[in-house]
Copies of this chain bind each other. A is one copy, B any other.
């Protein structure tokens, strides 16, 4: 293998052709003789020629790169999404540029501007949990810049969106708990700026209703920090204790593990025995203590679908007229 960086000019010189002819041969243009094409291709192969993607990008005004914004890369769920994105990008010959917003709106915006100006061809993103009006995103979308939102999506404007069936997750959680004999079901949720948490709460309420249970506000605890704040979680649990719940539904990945951690820190037996159902994409729920029932989102598929949707838009000949919202089924793992 050679690591020389050859240019079209090098090939042209070697074969006594013009760069345009070489370019045409390499791009399999119709206006080229079989013979010349073969000669060029053979030589290119021989020296392991690779076009300079930067020069091509400058010329073509596209970079074959897609930008990704998540809140934290090292979050289970997001890293699985990225895995899905990367798999599609790889086969479609796109590069993936990863960034993290750390749940900070301002940084998110900087990243969007940066990636946009960096000439990514499109953006895959999930919103940060900080409160924000996403008008600048709406503008971008409306101007035809390809963006696909996943997981936490904007609700005030239309755009391509890929989400899990969050409401159904909440609903099924309750049904499951009821089936297991629970009669007082609590709920821990995160920041309600996020579509996901709101939808899951809706499902939760619906589940209670359809099973003839009343919805009680005191059965719900809101952990704004999403489970990463120990104190917040412990407080929530202690406050919830009086409710004497025998089942609980937890709305997010970090919330679920944070709940279990807090439970282990507090004397476990001071709390009434109860069943736990929680959203989590951990690959090791089966070794969690206490045991829980997991609601899994098809994270890899979510990344793949989002990536496909994005690439389709990037490569589309005509502007999008209808935005798509893909809702993927969740899965309960016992």
Contact = CB atoms under 8 A, between A and B. Distances in A.
Contact of A3 (B54, B57, B140, B257): B140
Nearest to A5: B117
Interface string A39-51: 0000000001010
A320 interface: no
Nearest to A292: B287
A210 interface: no
Interface string A84-120: 0010001000011111100000000000010011110
Given A86-B73, A284-B282, A116 B261 contact: no
Nearest to A136: B1
Interface string A52-65: 11110110000101
A1 B140 CA distance: 10
Contacts of A74: 76, 79-80, 82-83, 300
A6 to B, nearest CB: 10
Nearest to A254: B283
Interface centre among A54, A58, A119, A136 (most CB of B within 10 A): A54
Contact of A58 (B54, B116, B284, B289): B54
Interface in A237-273: 257, 260-261, 264
A98 B113 contact: no
A143 B257 CA distance: 47
A65 B64 CA distance: 14
A143 B3 contact: yes
A72 B99 CA distance: 17
10 contacts: A3-B139, A50-B113, A53-B118, A54-B57, A58-B58, A74-B79, A74-B83, A79-B79, A95-B118, A257-B284
Interface of A: 1, 3, 5, 48, 50, 52-55, 57-58, 63, 65, 72-76, 79-80, 82-83, 86, 90, 95-100, 113, 116-119, 136, 139-140, 143, 145, 257, 260-261, 264, 282-284, 286-289, 300
Given A54-B119, A257-B287, A287-B288, 14 more contacts: A1-B136, A3-B139, A3-B140, A5-B117, A48-B113, A54-B54, A54-B57, A73-B83, A74-B82, A86-B98, A257-B283, A261-B284, A261-B287, A264-B287
